[in-house]
Amino acid sequence: MAILKILTEEDPILRKTSRKVDAITPRIQILLDDMIATLHKSGGVGLAAPQVGVLRRVVVVETEPGNLIELINPVIVETSGSQTGQEGCLSLPGRWGICTRPDTVTVEATNRRGERFRVTGTGLTARCFCHELDHLDGILYPDVADRMLTRAEIDKMMEDDD
């Protein structure tokens, strides 16, 4: 498994729409493996293929250690509730915003074996589903943020984490 380079917000690839995966090939399975390795190395909770320069509808999410969710051609089929909280992104290091997202999100997708499935996430997982699926359509979280945090707010947040 390779650690892939995570693109940052200046890269125009992040603003493009990803193409559907037509077949689960060994190349797609290697992409999933490499994305998982990259996610683990980065310390993030989600990663979309465009963030590593691949314009395919592929996402990995792991909001709880050991609970990895691989999504190929994911589509949000149901949402409910609302949550507002801090959001960041591996492609926008050092920036944070406040975003309102659904509290519960159900996604339909294909797994690496080509099987269709549905998965429902709440809280952070729901937020992550929305955030990562936005990447597939060239949307970055500042586009949907209620507001971005100021430098002083970010500094305070980092102090509180220590």
Residue 124 lies in a domain: yes
Residue 158 has pLDDT above 90, yes or no: no
If pLDDT is split at 50, 70 and 90, which confidence band does 101 have?
very high
Residue 51 lies in a domain: yes
pLDDT at 59: 98
Nearest 5°: phi and psi at 39? -60, -45
Nearest 5°: phi and psi at 128? -65, -45
Residue 157 has pLDDT above 90, yes or no: no
Q: What is the pLDDT of residues 32-69, one digit of tens each?
A: 999 999 999 999 999 999 999 999 999 999 999 999 99
Residue 3 lies in a domain: no
Name the nearest CA neighbour of 48 among 24, 71, 25, 79: 71
Residue 5 lies in a domain: no
Residue 44 lies in a domain: yes
Name the nearest CA neighbour of 46 among 6, 9, 73, 77: 6
What is the DSSP-derived secondary structure letter of residue 4? Answer: P
For residue 51, the domain's CATH number is: 3.90.45.10
The boundaries of the domain holding residue 40 are 12-161
If pLDDT is split at 50, 70 and 90, which confidence band does 1 have?
confident
Q: How many CB atoms lie within 10 A of CB 140?
A: 18
Q: What is the pLDDT of residues 117-155, one digit of tens each?
A: 999 999 999 999 999 999 999 999 999 999 999 999 988
Contact 112, 29 (CB under 8 A): yes
**What are the angstrom distances between the C-alpha of 57 and each of 72, 82, 116?**
6, 25, 14
Residue 131 lies in a domain: yes
Query: Does 115 participate in catalysis according to the annotation?
Result: no
Q: Catalytic residue, from 9, 87, 132, 159: name it.
A: 132
If pLDDT is split at 50, 70 and 90, which confidence band does 16 have?
very high
Number of domains in the chain: 1
Residue 162 has pLDDT above 80, yes or no: no
In this prediction the pTM is: 0.95
